[in-house]
C-alpha cells in the first residue's frame, strides 16, 4: 500500500523491503513485469505549484526514478517530455497517462540516446511541441554488472555505458543550451557509485564520478547566465534496472546494507529533483544531493 510521504514515520519502515527473491528480467526491464512494483508516488505525491507552467525534459522518464520525477513535476505544474528506449513503450505510455492525469501536457520521445541525432531530436521536439525548455533532467543510464570485474567488461559494453551515461548528458546539455533562459535548471543523476564503487559496476561507477565533475564544471560555466546545474546521487533504489542488470545474489536483499536497512523507492527520490528544479534552491548550484539511505558519499 503506498505511503503518505508527508506523514511522520520511522524512515526504516516508510516502505517495506520488497521480496526481491528471483526477481530477474531481461534488460531494459519493465515495471509491470516486476512482482513487487516500485512506488513512484502515484498515490502519495501531492504538488504545491512549485513549477508553474515550466517545461521539463526527463531522459529515462518511462520508469523508475524518471517516472517518479515526471509525476512530481506534473503535479507541481510542469509539462513534461520523456525520452526512453523504444523497447520501453509500455512503461512510457503509463508515465504519460500519469502526467496527463495531473492536468499537464506530456510528450513521448523514443530513441537511443547513444546517438547524437537522437539527442537533438529530444530537444527539438520538446521545444516544438511544448514551447521551450526550463528544466533538463539527464537521468537515462545503462549498467550491466560483471561479477568478474574489469576482465569481463567488453569494449562493446564500455561503449554503451559511456555513451549512454556521459555522451548523452553532454550532447543534451549542449543542445539544450540555446533554449535555456535565466532561471533554467539542469539536473544530472549521479550515484553513490561515484564515491563508493562496486567492483562489478566498475565502468558504470566511473561514469557516475564523471557526472559529478561535469556538474560542478558546468555549474561554474553557466552561473553568469543565471542557469543552475546540480546533481542527485541516489543510493540503492528499487527500479526495473536492478533485476534487469544485477545477478541474483545482488538483487536478493538489495538495499539492506544501508543504515536505514532497506532499499529506497523512486517516490523518495522525486522530492530531491523538485527541490533542485524549483526556486527554493535558487542559491544552490554545482552541488550533489545524496539520497542514499544513510550510506556516506
Which residue is catalytic, options 45, 142, 204, 273?
204
User: Could you identify the residue written with the cell 560483471?
Assistant: 146
What whole-number distance in Å separates Cα of residue 89 and Cα of residue 26?
15
Torsion of the alpha carbons at 232, 219, 166 and 23, rounded to the nearest 10: 0
Whether the ω angle into residue 237 lies within 30 degrees of 0, i.e. cis, is no
Could you confirm whether 204 is annotated as catalytic?
yes
266 burial via Cβ count (<10 Å: 0-12, 13-18, 19+): buried
Just list the catalytic residues.
204
Amino acid at each position: 500500500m503506498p505511503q503518505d510521504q508527508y506523514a511522520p514515520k520511522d524512515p526504516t519502515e516508510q516502505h517495506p523491503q520488497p521480496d526481491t527473491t528471483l526477481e530477474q528480467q531481461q534488460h531494459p526491464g519493465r515495471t509491470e513485469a516486476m512482482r513487487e512494483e516500485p512506488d513512484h508516488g502515484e498515490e502519495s505525491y501531492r504538488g504545491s505549484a512549485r513549477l508553474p507552467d515550466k517545461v521539463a525534459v526527463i531522459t529515462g522518464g518511462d520508469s523508475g526514478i524518471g517516472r517518479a520525477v515526471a509525476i512530481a513535476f506534473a503535479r507541481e505544474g510542469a509539462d513534461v517530455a520523456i525520452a526512453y528506449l523504444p523497447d520501453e513503450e509500455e512503461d512510457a505510455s503509463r508515465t504519460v497517462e500519469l502526467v496527463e492525469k495531473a492536468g499537464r501536457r506530456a510528450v513521448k520521445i523514443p530513441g537511443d540516446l547513444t546517438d547524437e541525432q537522437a539527442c537533438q531530436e529530444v530537444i527539438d521536439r520538446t521545444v516544438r511541441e511544448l514551447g521551450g525548455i526550463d528544466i533538463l533532467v539527464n537521468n537515462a543510464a545503462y549498467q550491466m554488472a560483471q561479477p568478474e570485474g574489469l576482465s569481463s567488461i567488453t569494449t562493446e559494453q564500455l561503449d554503451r555505458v559511456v555513451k549512454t551515461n556521459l555522451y548523452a548528458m553532454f550532447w543534451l546539455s549542449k543542445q539544450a543550451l540555446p533554449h535555456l533562459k535565466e532561471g533554467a535548471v539542469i539536473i544530472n543523476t549521479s550515484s553513490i557509485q561515484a564515491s563508493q564503487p562496486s567492483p562489478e559496476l566498475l565502468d558504470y561507477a566511473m561514469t557516475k564520478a564523471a557526472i559529478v565533475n561535469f556538474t560542478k564544471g558546468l555549474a561554474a560555466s553557466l552561473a553568469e547566465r543565471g542557469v543552475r546545474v546540480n546533481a542527485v546521487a541516489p543510493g540503492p533504489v528499487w527500479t526495473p534496472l536492478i533485476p534487469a542488470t544485477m545477478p541474483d545474489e545482488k538483487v536478493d536483499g538489495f538495499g539492506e546494507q544501508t543504515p536505514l536497512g532497506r532499499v529506497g523507492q523512486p517516490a523518495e527520490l522525486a522530492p530531491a529533483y523538485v527541490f533542485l528544479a524549483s526556486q527554493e534552491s535558487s542559491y544552490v548550484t554545482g552541488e550533489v544531493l545524496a539520497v542514499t539511505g544513510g550510506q556516506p558519499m
